[in-house]
Structure 1
Amino acid sequence: MNFPNPPNEVDFKKVALETLKIEQQALNILANEIDDRFVRACQIILACKGRLVITGMGKSGHIGRKMAATFASTGTPSFFMHPGEAGHGDLGMLVKGDVLIAISNSGKSDEIMMLMPLVKHLEIPLITISATNHGPMPQNADVALTLGDLQEACPLGLAPTSSTTATLALGDALAVALLDARGFTSDDFARSHPAGALGKRLLLHVKNLMHTGDALPRVAPETKMGQVLFEITEKRLGLTTVVDKNNTLLGIFTDGDLRRLIDKQQGFDVNLPISEVMIKNPTTISEDERAVKALTQLNAKKINQFVVVDGANKVIGVLGMHDLIRAGVA
C-alpha cells in the first residue's frame, strides 16, 4: 500500500523521543509537588463515608474517568460525574458524605465553578487538581493539588499532553497510596475483576476445577494391571490414584509410567499388582490453592496432573493441565 508523503519532511522518531522526554520532565516536576497536601487529600478520601466523585471537562474529563475506574477497582468506591451534565440534573449524583475531586489544568473551568455553591452547601470536601493554585477552583478547595510549571509536549503548547500525563500519574499515586492504607489485597482485587483472564487467574482455586466423585480414578494397591488400565482409560485423566480402604493416598500410576514400564520390560504382566509399580509419595496439592499457583507448580515440576488431598492425605480430587487450559488460567 502506498502512503502519501507528508507536506513537510518529519523525523517521526525524533518527535516521538522529544515528546517522551518532555513528559518525563513533567513527571519529575510533579514529584516535587508531592507534599503534605497529598497526605491531607489521602486522609480526606480515607475518611469519606460516601463515594469519591471525580469531575472534569474535556481532556481532564477523560483522565477523570480513568481515575474513577482505578479508584473503584482498588477499594475506593468512585464514579465520574460530567460537570456539564451535572448542571442539568446529574448533580443529584453528589450527596452529603461524598468527596469531590475536580480537575482543571487552568483551575477555572466555568462548568465546575457553577457547581461550587451546592458543593459548599452540602459541605462536601473539595480536592482540586490544577497546574497552579492561583485559579478560583483551587482557591475554593479544601486541598489544592498542583502539577507544577510543566511544558506541554505539543509544540503549539495547546493540546493537553504533559498535563494530562501528570494528572493521570497523580491519580494513580492517590489510588495506590489509598490501596496500601486500606490493606487492599489481591483477593480484594479479584472480587472486583471477576471477568476475563485476570479474574480467572485470581479467583479460581483448585477446588473449582478438580475432578471429584465418580470421575475420580482410584484403585486399591492389590488391583491387577489389567484392571488398572481399564480405570485409567474409563476416567480419561491420564492416571489413577492408588488408595487404601480409608481412601488415603498410597501412590499414583500414569499413562507415562505405563509407557516407561512397557519400554523397560518389553511388555508387562496384566496380573501384576499396581503396588509393585506405582509411584509412591506423588506430588499433591490442596483444594484451597489458587489455580494459577497450581499451574506454576505443574510447569516447575514438569508434570501434567496433581492429586488433590485433604489434611489427612485422603484423595478428594485430581487436577490436570488440560483443566487449567480449558478454564483460561494457562
Structure 2
Amino acid sequence: MRQTTQDFIPLGRQVLDIEKAAIEGLYQFLDSSFNRACQLIFDCSGRVIVIGMGKSGHIGGKIAATLASTGTPAFFVHPGEASHGDLGMITANDVVLAISNSGETAEVLNILPVIKRLGVGLVGMTGNPQSTLAQHADVHVNIAVEQEACPLGLAPTASTTATLVMGDAIAVALLNARGFTADDFALSHPGGSLGKRLLLRLQDIMHTGDRIPLVSEQAIISEALLEMSRKGLGMTAIVDQQQRLLGIFTDGDLRRILDSRIDIHQTAIADVMTRQCITAPADMLAAQALKIMQDRKISGLIVVSEEGLPTGALNMHDLLKAGVI
C-alpha cells in the first residue's frame, strides 16, 4: 500500500504558537509570590531540593541542574523514592521546590507532612492556585497555561515549557542576586569546550622561554626570518637592549616587504617591523584572546608582563590545539 505524504509543518507551527503564548502568559505571574520564592531560596543556608513526578520530574531535574550550575546548590529527588528512604536527603536547612501542574500529584502530596514536620521551606510550582500543593506551600508560583499544545489536551507540552521557563527565571534572578560571575560559572563547568573557554588562560597554552621567537632591534630581516623558522609561530618579537618589546614582524609583513623589493640581507628588522603591536597579559582568558585576534584579523599574539617584557607567544594553531576554537 502506498503511503500518503503528510504535511507536518502547520501543526508544528500551531504548537509553537501555543507554547509561545504560554510563555507570554507567565509575565502576569512575575509578582510578589515570585519575589518571595526567590527570597526564600536566596536566604536558604542549605540546598534546594526539587521534586516532581512524570514530566514535571524531568523538568524538575533540569531546573535543579540549572540552579546548581549558577550558584544555588540544588539536586532532584524523585517523590516516589522519597517515600522509601530518600527523604533522608532533606535537612531542616533546605528549601523544597515541589512541581506539579495539577497541584494534586499523589506522590508529591504524600511527602508533604514530612516536609512540614521538618520545618523545611516549601515553594509550590503549580498551574492551580487552589490545589492542595499550592495551599500547603509557603509560597506558590503560578505556572498556569490556557491550553496544552497536544491536540488531545492530554500530553504535558505547553505546561512543561512554562514550568521550565519559570525555573530559568528563578535561577537567573538568583544568579544575579548572588553576584555570580563567569569565573564562578567556570568552576562548575570545567569539562568540554565550555570549560576551556571559561577557564583556560594564555599562561596555560603560550610558548615560553627559549620557545618565544625573539630578535634584537639590531637584527637584519634575514636573521628575523631564521628565528621565525626555528620557532614556527609565523612571527617574531623585536626587543630593545633591556628586552622590552618594541614591535612584531609576521609572515604578513614579510609578504608586504617582498612586494617592495627590500633587501632582506641588508635592512634592519626595526625598519620594517610593526610598532605598537597588539599584546596581551598572561592571565587573559584564551577565549578573549581569540576574539581579539579575530576582530583585529591577526594570527598571533605576544604576551607581555606589566614591564613590557615578552613572557610568551602563541598563534591560532595553539588555540585550536587547546580546544578554544
TM-score (norm 1): 0.93
Contact 1:132-1:149 within 8 A present in 2 as well: no
Partner of 2:289: 294
Superposed CA RMSD in Å reads: 1.9
Letter in 1 for 2:29: E
Give CA-to-partner distance per residue, 1:63-101, whole Å, 9 cap, x none.
100100111111111100001111111111111100001
Q: 1:215 to 1:70 in 2, by over 3 A?
A: same
Partner of 2:121: 125
Contact 1:154-1:161 within 8 A present in 2 as well: yes
Give CA-to-partner distance per residue, 1:295-324, whole Å, 9 cap, x none.
122122221111111122111111211111
Q: 1:31 to 1:277 in 2, by over 3 A?
A: closer
Write the distance in 2 (CA, Å) between the matches of 1:291 and 1:200.
8
CA apart distance, 1:141: 0.8
Q: Where do 1:155-170 residues align within 5 Å?
A: 155-170=151-166
Q: Does 1:142 align with 2:138?
A: yes
Letter in 2 for 1:34: L
Letter in 2 for 1:187: D
Write the distance in 2 (CA, Å) between the matches of 1:106 and 1:276.
77
Give CA-to-partner distance per residue, 1:215-273, whole Å, 9 cap, x none.
011111222334322211111111111112321012222233223323322x6242543
Write the distance in 1 (CA, Å) between the matches of 2:164 and 2:313.
46
Letter in 2 for 1:67: I
Which of 294, 298, 318 aligns to 1:323? It is 318
Q: What 5-or-longer segments of structure 2 have no aligned partner? A: none
CA apart distance, 1:176: 1.1
Q: Secondary structure in 2 aligned to 1:234?
A: helix
Write the distance in 2 (CA, Å) between the matches of 1:149 and 1:186.
34
Q: Does 1:217 align with 2:213?
A: yes
Q: What 5-or-longer segments of structure 1 have no aligned partner? A: none
CA apart distance, 1:279: 2.5
Contact 2:145-2:159 within 8 A present in 1 as well: no
CA apart distance, 1:132: 1.0
Write the distance in 2 (CA, Å) between the matches of 1:143 and 1:180.
21
Partner of 1:52: 48
Partner of 2:255: 259
Letter in 2 for 1:319: L
Give identity over the alignment, percent.
Answer: 49
Partner of 1:35: 31
Partner of 2:180: 184
Q: Secondary structure in 2 aligned to 1:270?
A: coil
Larger mean Cα displacement after TM superposition, 66-75 or 195-204: 195-204
Letter in 2 for 1:5: T
Q: 1:216 to 1:119 in 2, by over 3 A?
A: same
CA apart distance, 1:128: 0.7
Q: 1:252 to 1:24 in 2, by over 3 A?
A: closer
Write the distance in 2 (CA, Å) between the matches of 1:19 and 1:221.
67
Q: Secondary structure in 1 aligned to 2:243?
A: coil
CA apart distance, 1:11: 4.4
Q: 1:174 to 1:273 in 2, by over 3 A?
A: same
CA apart distance, 1:149: 5.2
Write the distance in 2 (CA, Å) between the matches of 1:27 and 1:263.
61
